[in-house]
Amino acid sequence: MNSIENMPISGKTKIIPILADPIAHVETPRIMNMLFKKANYDAVCVPFQVAAENLSQTIEALRLIPTIAGAVVTVPHKINISHLVDVKGPQAQIIGAVNAVRFDEQRQMHGEMFDGKGFVQGLINSDLDVGSHLKVYIAGAGGAARGIAFALLAQGVKSLQVYNRTQATAVALIEELKKYAPDAVIELADATPQQVDLCINATSAGMLGPQQNTLPFAIDGLEANCCVAEVIMNPLKTQLLQQAEQKGMKIVSGQAMILAQIGQLAAFILNEPELAQVRL
């Protein structure tokens, strides 16, 4: 029988909100809490629905609560929160977006970005060779897309085509990417990718909710040996992935990306490096 002492949350438990809007689609609380259980670590990740216009007030409130260790940050806050952090980590400085924040003892907020490296590691864990031969297409120019684009260039991919619904944002991102990797082939693309080895949906199009039936791009022009990868975790198999699978293409779901970075996120937020070693 359960005794009170064995119940998971006490007055000492560290709290990690995930800040998002919408919130119903997020899978990070389940996965991070699974990690805490496996590591026998006294912390809990909980969903906080925070509208874009309330982000800065929310941060000021969290700063006042010492049991809040930090936060996971996702759609639509990753770029805006990068302007609110007191100390930016190296990836956050390059990418201009943040997906994890930690409050230190003085309640200064440190921010870092793990999406890009997590995505690349997720591909590698899915047996994809991410090297200099790879021609890549990416849809999106928001927080997740930025992280992934910089990480792929750091990996030395052969070329990168960028498409976004709002073209001006893609153009601005391409300018930044070209400064970061002046020798790489980086081009603006449309919603019909062709002749690439890897196509990535790094937009919210297709995620649970009103956007679930929206396709981020058309796969008709792709060869069957192209791989299609998602950032979306919920649903696990988006319409895009279903279509790609029907064409016999290799698919990688958004779960690979979160599983590859969850330990790093927890380690950063709680300032406990050993949590990065926990495998789920």
Residue 239 found at the interface with ligand NDP (CB under 6 A): no
Task: Clarify whether 117 is annotated catalytic.
Answer: no
Residue 165 found at the interface with ligand NDP (CB under 6 A): yes
Q: How far is the CB of 108 from ligand NDP (least distance, A)?
A: 24
Residue 125 found at the interface with ligand NDP (CB under 6 A): no
Residue 143 found at the interface with ligand NDP (CB under 6 A): yes
Choose which of 177, 257, 266, 275 interacts with ligand NDP (CB under 6 A): 257
User: From residue 28 to residue 57, what is the string marking binding to ligand NDP with x (rule CB under 6 A)?
Assistant: ------------------------------
The single residue of 12, 14, 78, 88 carrying the catalytic annotation is: 78
Helices (H), 129-253: 143-154, 167-180, 239-246
Q: How many Cα atoms occupy the beta-carbon half-sphere of 14 within 13 Å?
A: 19
What span, in angstroms and rounded, lies between the C-alpha atoms of 215 and 196?
18
Residue 148 found at the interface with ligand NDP (CB under 6 A): no
Q: What is the CA radius of gyration of the chain?
A: 19
Task: Report the candidate in 20, 88, 17 with the shortest Cα–Cα distance to residue 54.
Answer: 20
Residue 74 found at the interface with ligand NDP (CB under 6 A): yes
Choose which of 50, 109, 199, 207 interacts with ligand NDP (CB under 6 A): 207
Residue 238 found at the interface with ligand NDP (CB under 6 A): no
Cis previous bond, 17, omega within 30: no
Cβ neighbours of residue 14 closer than 8 Å, sequence gap 6 or more: 42, 43, 44, 67, 68, 69, 270
Choose which of 141, 186, 200, 252 interacts with ligand NDP (CB under 6 A): 141
Q: Which is nearer to ligand NDP, 79 or 154 (CB)?
A: 79
The string over 125-155, giving b where at least 16 C-beta atoms fall within 10 Å of a residue's C-beta and e elsewhere, is ebebebeeebbbbbbbbbbbbbbbbbbbbeb
Q: β-pairing, 100-103 with 70-73?
A: antiparallel
Residue 192 found at the interface with ligand NDP (CB under 6 A): no
Distance of CA 225 to the CA centre of its chain: 25
Size of the site for ligand NDP (CB under 6 A): 30
Q: Of the ranges 43-51, 143-151, 221-229, 263-271, which one interacts with ligand NDP (CB under 6 A)? A: 143-151
Contact present, 268 and 117 (Cβ < 8 Å) = no
Residue 166 found at the interface with ligand NDP (CB under 6 A): yes
What span, in angstroms and rounded, lies between the C-alpha atoms of 119 and 106?
32
The Cβ of residue 246 has, within 10 Å, a number of other Cβ atoms equal to 9
Task: Report the candidate in 22, 258, 249, 262 with the shortest Cα–Cα distance to residue 137.
Answer: 249
Choose which of 17, 111, 116, 142 interacts with ligand NDP (CB under 6 A): 142
Q: Which is nearer to ligand NDP, 133 or 237 (CB)?
A: 237
Residue number, nearest CB to ligand NDP: 142
Query: Which residues contribute to the site for ligand NDP (CB under 6 A)?
Result: 74-76, 78-79, 115, 118, 140-145, 164-166, 169, 203-205, 207, 211, 214, 216, 231-233, 254, 257-258
**Catalytic site residues?**
78
